[in-house]
């Protein structure tokens, strides 16, 4: 297959849990060697989508294939070519890091020797060398996630599914995880990554699909999505409410939209990040407006959702968990 052929093809995928419709007809292509970020709030259907593609769950309707292998018909072949790492860090707590990787490698059909040397290589790549011989129950949350990801990579699968790889991690561990995933991508692995965080999708994904209530509501590159959301937001707090009108006039040329004033707070979406603050300060001081505070804010998932769906990306119960209860 050529590199432009989709590594993952999904058509009309549907799945319900009792009354809850987790996926209502999803179509999606992921180009080989690229990273797709599936972005959505809790309960949007992200995990259900990944579970169907990794053969853990049968779909009610529609088709899905990975590298041309159908998730239902060719499940056994498909499993040899995928790796799965999830938000629950599925590793055995009573085994050491190395023992976990060797076990998974052998279950992929590798010899003990090959699995051991691959395991050591991954442990050193993922900064877990010192912990290789310690039981996983002594690991921190970030270390477990890295080991979980390493386990998905033991057999060097060409397609990787990462289900919310950084959910629940502290900021430092999250950055570490991002660095690891970025290295991976540079090696040409096709990755489908689910996330609730726009900045994560922004940093890691070549293209982003936004999912809500089991439907894809937008697809595109991070820039395309941001254009639809309106890019960065500049927030200016004025010394006095009276300056609001002058501030709106002064800032208007920086944006395609009219700045909005609420009391002493003026908000405006801006086209670009670099130089924005300097330009805003200059314009405001030229207009004689006194500024108390001024900040650039990146658009959040809430901004994306607000713009695309008209509702916020509120927390909702996961339909799978709701159906199981």
**Do the Cβ atoms of 119 and 155 come closer than 8 Å?**
no
Residues that bind another protein (CB under 8 A): 17, 51, 54-58, 76, 79-80, 82, 84, 86, 88-95, 99, 103-104, 106-109, 135, 151, 323-324
| DSSP run (H or E) holding 281 | helix 276-286
Q: How far is CA 181 from the centre of its chain?
A: 11
3-state secondary structure of 67: coil
Per-residue DSSP letters for 219-254?
EE-HHHHHHHHTSEEEEEEES-GGGHHHHHHHHGGG
In the complex, least distance from residue 146 CB atom to another protein, rounded to whole angstroms: 15
Provide the minimum distance between the beta carbon of 153 and another protein in the complex, in angstroms, as a whole number: 13
82/169 with CB nearer another protein: 82
Please list the residues that pair with 112 across neighbouring strands: none
Q: Can you read off the two tokens belonging to residue 209?
A: 């699909």
Q: CA 266 → CA 42, 233, 310, 311, 323, distances in Å?
A: 31, 10, 22, 22, 45
Looking at the Cβ atoms of 152 and 261, the one nearer to another protein is 152
Minimum Å distance from CB 11 to another protein? 22
Q: Which is nearer to another protein, 104 or 123 (CB)?
A: 104
Question: Shortest Cβ distance from residue 275 to another protein (Å)?
Answer: 47
Name which of 110 and 238 has its Cβ closer to another protein. 110
Residue 314 burial (10 A CB sphere; 0-12, 13-18, 19+): exposed
In DSSP terms, 294 is beta-bridged to 236
From the CB of 69, what's the least distance to another protein, in Å? 12
| SS3 state at 269 | strand
Q: Tell me how far, at minimum, the Cβ of 22 lies from another protein, in Å.
A: 12
Nearer to another protein, 98 or 218 (CB): 98
CA distances to 1, 30, 83, 200 from 178, rounded to whole Å, are: 29, 20, 17, 8
Please identify, using beta-carbon distances, which residue of 28 and 115 lies nearer to another protein.
115
Q: How far apart are CA 244 and CA 238, in angstroms?
A: 7
The nearest distance, CB 271 to another protein, in angstroms, is 43
Q: In this structure, what DSSP letter does residue 135 have?
A: B
Residue nearer to another protein on the CB measure, 265 or 323: 323
């Amino acid at each position: 297959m050529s590199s432009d052929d989709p590594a993952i093809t999904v058509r009309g995928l549907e799945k319900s849990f009792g009354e809850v419709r987790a996926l209502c007809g999803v179509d999606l292509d992921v180009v080989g060697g690229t990273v797709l970020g599936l972005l959505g709030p809790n309960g949007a259907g992200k995990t259900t989508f990944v579970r169907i593609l990794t053969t853990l769950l049968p779909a009610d309707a529609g088709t899905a294939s990975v590298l041309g292998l159908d998730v239902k018909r060719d499940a056994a072949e498909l499993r040899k070519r995928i790796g799965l790492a999830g938000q629950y860090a599925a590793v055995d707590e009573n085994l050491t890091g190395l023992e976990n990787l060797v076990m998974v490698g052998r279950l992929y059909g590798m010899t003990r020797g090959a699995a051991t040397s691959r395991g050591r290589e991954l442990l050193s790549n993922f900064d877990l060398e010192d912990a290789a011989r310690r039981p996983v129950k002594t690991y921190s949350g970030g270390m477990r996630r890295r080991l979980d990801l390493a386990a998905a990579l033991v057999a060097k699968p060409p397609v990787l599914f990462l289900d919310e790889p950084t959910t629940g991690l502290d900021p430092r561990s999250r950055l570490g995880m991002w660095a690891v995933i970025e290295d991976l991508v540079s090696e040409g692995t096709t990755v489908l990554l689910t996330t609730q965080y726009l900045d994560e999708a922004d940093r890691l994904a070549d293209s982003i699909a936004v999912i809500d209530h089991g439907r894809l509501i937008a697809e595109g590159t991070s820039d395309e999505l941001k254009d639809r959301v309106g890019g960065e937001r500049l927030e200016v707090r004025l010394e006095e409410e009276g300056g609001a009108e002058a501030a709106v006039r002064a800032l208007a040329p920086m944006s395609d939209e009219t700045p909005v004033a609420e009391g002493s707070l003026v908000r405006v979406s801006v086209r670009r990040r670099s130089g924005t603050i300097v330009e805003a300060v200059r314009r405001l001081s030229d207009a004689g407006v006194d500024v108390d505070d001024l900040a650039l804010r990146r658009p959040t998932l809430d901004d994306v959702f607000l713009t695309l769906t008209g509702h916020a990306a509120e927390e909702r119960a996961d339909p799978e968990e709701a159906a199981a209860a």
